Amino acid sequence: MTNHPHLFSPFRVGPLTLPNRFVMAPMTRGRAGADAVPTEAMARYYGLRADAGLLITEATAISPGGSGWLGAPGVYSEAQVGAWRKVTEAVHRKDGRIFLQLWHMGRVSHPDFLGGGLPVGPSAIAAKGDANTPRGKRSYVTPHPLTVAEIRAIVDDYATAAKNARAAGFDGVELHAANGYLIDQFLRDGANRRTDDYGGSPTKRARFLLEVTQAVAAAWSADRVGVRLSPTGNFNDMQDSDPSATFHHATRELDRLGLAYLHVTEPLPGHMMHVPLPPVAPAMRQAFHGPFVLNGGYDAAKADAAIAAGDADLIAFGVPFLANPDLVARYRTGAELNAPDFATLYTPGEKGYLDYPVLAAAKG
């Protein structure tokens, strides 16, 4: 019997009964094919990890204008939807459950991905840093500030993407509202200096998040929709003058919608993305009455302790799942973990993607 009983107990998320509290965190891997179409290798990759209570896919562009990452998949064309169907079938054949993460990169895309056009954002504020484009590293540019009509069109794109995800056989979708992408850019005042109904107070800055969430819930069902937030994260040059006020308001409003879960990434001390700010996740946990997921630097012992303490219902593991397709079995038996090869995180091909050994193979 495992030494981590809470982590291995079943849990209900929306209409789904998860056999354990393991969530595979969304991780961009850059293995999609031409035209952002998922590949057979991706079906194998996710199928190998189907023992997790819930799999969340890598971030997936909702539209050509929302893309901006080499090798990232999309969910806006018939070819993409058909290819994703092979991924969901591979997971479901192994009795797994899988959500598609919906993504719009906003200001951290680049004209090289957009036919020369500008990326979009809430305000004309460029992020510091570089995009990895087909022509190499290039500095982020100042985005085109979205008009209200353009915002409404993107909300519609999210709803269409959710319908496409359902058609592809997914069990639900997660809105990527974290890590400095478009929804997060609206939420935090470091990137949002608007003076209309989408900027200013936390209430106005959360409007885009809530409109997208409501549209996606209406396109499918609220209990098939999760949301991911990163209240103190500084990835993609993000900051907020009062994360506690911003994210407490957003969480209270999301709590009214009957969502599948709220997924908060706020890495623990010692994690490479930890930010030394007062944590906001505990207050978000109190404000959100549905399933609550934590992510960022957890091992089995820390995950089990967090669940036992009521800090979270589920724990999302990123890097451990990347290098260990059979992470659930390894934690169950106390087996040693494979070390990740960070040099192959985003490289094309199977190396560092499909060649991590599983326990039976490792013993053989």
Domains of the chain: 11-363 (3.20.20.70)
Alpha carbon of residue 177 to chain centroid: 8
Q: Which residues pair with 56 in a beta bridge?
A: 99
> How much is the average pLDDT of 275-299?
95
Q: What is the pTM of this model?
A: 0.97
Going through the chain in order, the beta strands assigned E by DSSP cover: 11-13, 16-18, 22-24, 54-61, 98-103, 120-121, 130-133, 136-139, 144-145, 172-176, 225-229, 261-265, 292-295, 314-317
Using pLDDT thresholds of 50, 70 and 90, give the confidence band for residue 203. Answer: very high
Residues with catalytic function? 181
Write b or e for each residue in 283-304: b if 16 or more Cβ atoms lie within 10 A of its Cβ, otherwise e: bbbebbebbbbbbbbbebeebb
Q: What is the pLDDT of residue 361?
A: 57
Q: Which residues pair with 229 in a beta bridge?
A: 264
Share of the chain above pLDDT 90, in %: 94
CA distances from 88 to 44, 58, 169 (A): 10, 13, 6
Q: What CA–CA distance (Å, rounded) separates 126 from 108? A: 8
> How much is the average pLDDT of 61-89?
98
pLDDT tens digits, residue range 165-187? 999 999 999 999 999 999 999 99
Using pLDDT thresholds of 50, 70 and 90, give the confidence band for residue 272. Answer: confident
> Cβ contacts of residue 153 below 8 Å, gap of 6+?
none
DSSP for residue 361: H
Q: What is the pLDDT of residue 57?
A: 98
> How much is the average pLDDT of 148-158?
98
125 in Cβ contact with 107 (< 8 Å)? yes
Q: What CA–CA distance (Å, rounded) separates 354 from 271? A: 25
- Backbone dihedral region of 180: left (phi > 0), alpha (psi from -120 to 50 degrees) or beta? left
179 in Cβ contact with 69 (< 8 Å)? no
297 in Cβ contact with 270 (< 8 Å)? yes
For the chain, the average pLDDT equals 96
Using pLDDT thresholds of 50, 70 and 90, give the confidence band for residue 271. Answer: confident
Is residue 267 predicted with pLDDT exceeding 60? Answer: yes
Using pLDDT thresholds of 50, 70 and 90, give the confidence band for residue 220. Answer: very high
Q: What is the pLDDT of residue 2?
A: 58
Q: Which residues pair with 137 in a beta bridge?
A: 132
Rounded to the nearest 10 degrees, what angle do helices 148-167 and 78-93 cross at?
A: 40
> Cβ contacts of residue 249 below 8 Å, gap of 6+?
202, 203, 206
Q: What CA–CA distance (Å, rounded) separates 313 from 311? A: 7
231 in Cβ contact with 282 (< 8 Å)? no
Q: What is the pLDDT of residue 274?
A: 84
100 in Cβ contact with 84 (< 8 Å)? yes
pLDDT tens digits, residue range 295-345? 999 999 999 999 999 999 999 999 999 999 999 999 999 999 999 999 999
pLDDT tens digits, residue range 31-44? 999 999 999 999 99
Using pLDDT thresholds of 50, 70 and 90, give the confidence band for residue 364. Answer: very low
Using pLDDT thresholds of 50, 70 and 90, give the confidence band for residue 120. Answer: very high
Is residue 1 predicted with pLDDT exceeding 50? Answer: no
> How much is the average pLDDT of 357-361?
83
What SS3 string covers 207-219? HHHHHHHHHHHHH
Q: What is the pLDDT of residue 197?
A: 98
pLDDT tens digits, residue range 6-29? 999 999 999 999 999 999 999 999
Is residue 362 predicted with pLDDT exceeding 90? Answer: no
CA distances from 195 to 81, 107, 123, 205, 210 (A): 38, 18, 10, 10, 18
What does the CA dihedral 73, 136, 236, 217 come to, rounded to 10 degrees? -20
